């Protein structure tokens, strides 16, 4: 019995020593993650999964704290903070980044992706790697591409089931030239404004409509001020999980590896949660009284045809490598 206790005691000491050594390469770190969406959004699912993975990898030394609803500033402000090294992380869509890397605007082009499979093939492949390298050049490290989902149109005036129904509608869009250009081509009156001002603008009828993923439409309670919704799926703007390059360079190789692996491993869970909750949000929005229209194959083709000049005008201003990688990937899988 005494011998057995001695063996167990030695084993316990060995395990403790091994545990101490295995996590010695990690410093105690508190990392802030900014996101402009509510905590109910699937972005938080990804953050929680990242923390779970980091707990295992670092012994709980690396701690993530999510700050939602833009409390640390809007996406542009958060990105600027990362580049200056005053903030660690932000989850943001590609759209605000197009002002820094013009070619990222390709992901704003209407109907670029027909489904999630196409988006994943592009983002998780050579095209995604290309943009990651470009981002590092401007002080941003992209750990993984997560999912924001397809954007859909809502408005307070009428059902939109064909191209002509868009005529004259005042539609809030992101402060993004491609979205402005596209909605003009469709005959609408695009009104760029920050998302923080959107609900009030809809409530006061300063604009007739807006476009966002179903989850955003539900969590931001737009059904209270919008009657009609079109399942248009007209744009897929991915999320990027960005880290400050200045602060990234201060991390050890093991810490960098743990963070990147955690973001990539969390990607599958976050994307699955986004698709599940997006489908659920559509059901909920119908139950809350929104009138939902679908685009027929013919009407979708007409709307796509109408924005060909938007492709031509913007692609002409991009360097070739990024777009060529995107379209080469799409050609392989379509």
CA dihedral over 190, 192, 198, 201, signed as positive or negative: negative
What are the distances in angstroms from CA 118 to CA 98, 147, 241, 328?
21, 13, 20, 12
CB atoms within 10 A of CB 253: 8
Q: Are strands 29-35 and 62-67 parallel, antiparallel or unpaired?
A: parallel
Report the b/e string of 139-171 with b at 16+ CB within 10 A.
bbbbbbbbbbbbbbbbbbeeebebbebbeebbb
- Residue 301 sits at φ, ψ, to 5 deg, of -60, -40
The answer to whether the CB of 82 falls within 8 A of the CB of 100 is no
Tell me, rounded to whole angstroms, the distance of Cα 242 from its chain centroid: 11
List the chain pLDDT tens, one digit each, 334 residues: 545 555 455 555 444 444 445 788 899 999 999 999 989 999 999 999 999 999 999 999 999 999 999 999 989 999 999 999 999 999 999 998 999 999 999 999 999 999 999 999 999 999 999 999 999 999 999 999 999 999 999 999 999 999 999 999 999 998 889 999 999 999 999 999 988 899 999 999 999 999 999 999 999 999 999 999 999 999 998 999 999 999 999 999 999 999 999 999 999 999 999 999 999 999 999 999 999 999 999 999 999 999 999 999 999 999 999 999 999 999 998 7
Q: Longest Cα pair distance anywhere in the chain, in angstroms?
A: 88
What are the distances in angstroms from CA 242 to CA 18, 218, 239?
33, 26, 9
- Residue 63 sits at φ, ψ, to 5 deg, of -115, 125
Beta strands in the chain (DSSP E): 29-35, 62-67, 89-93, 140-146, 150-155, 170-173, 189-192, 209-212, 228-236, 239-244, 291-293
Q: Which domains does the chain have, with CATH numbers?
A: 27-101+113-148+237-279 (3.40.190.170), 150-236+280-333 (3.40.190.170)
The answer to whether the CB of 321 falls within 8 A of the CB of 130 is yes
């Amino acid at each position: 019995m005494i011998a057995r206790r001695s063996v167990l005691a030695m084993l316990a000491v060995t395990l403790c020593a091994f545990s101490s050594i295995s996590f010695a390469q990690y410093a105690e770190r508190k990392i802030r993650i900014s996101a402009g969406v509510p905590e109910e959004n699937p972005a938080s699912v990804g953050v929680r999964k990242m923390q779970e993975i980091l707990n295992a990898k670092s012994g709980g030394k690396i701690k993530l704290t999510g700050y939602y609803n833009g409390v640390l500033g809007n996406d542009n402000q958060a990105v600027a903070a990362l580049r200056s090294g005053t903030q660690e992380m932000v989850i943001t869509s590609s759209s605000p980044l197009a002002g820094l890397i013009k070619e990222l605007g390709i992901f704003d082009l209407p109907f670029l992706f027909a489904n999630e499979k196409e988006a994943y093939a592009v983002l998780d492949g050579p095209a995604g790697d290309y943009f990651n390298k470009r981002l590092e050049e401007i002080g941003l490290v992209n750990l993984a591409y997560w999912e924001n989902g397809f954007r859909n149109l809502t408005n307070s005036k009428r059902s939109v089931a064909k191209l002509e129904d868009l005529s004259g509608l005042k539609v809030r869009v992101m402060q993004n030239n491609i979205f402005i250009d596209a909605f003009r081509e469709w005959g609408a009156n695009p009104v760029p404004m920050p998302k923080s001002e959107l609900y009030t603008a809809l409530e006061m009828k300063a604009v007739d409509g807006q476009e966002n993923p179903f989850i955003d439409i539900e969590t931001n309670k737009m059904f209270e001020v919008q009657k009609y919704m079109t399942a248009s799926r007209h744009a897929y703007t991915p999320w990027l999980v960005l880290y400050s390059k200045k602060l990234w360079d201060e991390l050890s190789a093991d810490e960098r590896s743990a963070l990147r692996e955690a973001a990539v491993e969390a990607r599958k869970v976050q994307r699955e949660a986004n698709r599940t909750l997006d489908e659920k949000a559509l059901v909920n929005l119908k139950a809350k009284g929104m009138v939902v229209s679908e685009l027929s194959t013919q009407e979708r083709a007409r709307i796509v045809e109408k924005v060909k000049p938007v492709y031509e005008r913007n692609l002409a201003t991009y360097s070739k490598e990024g777009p060529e990688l995107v379209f080469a990937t799409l050609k392989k899988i379509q």
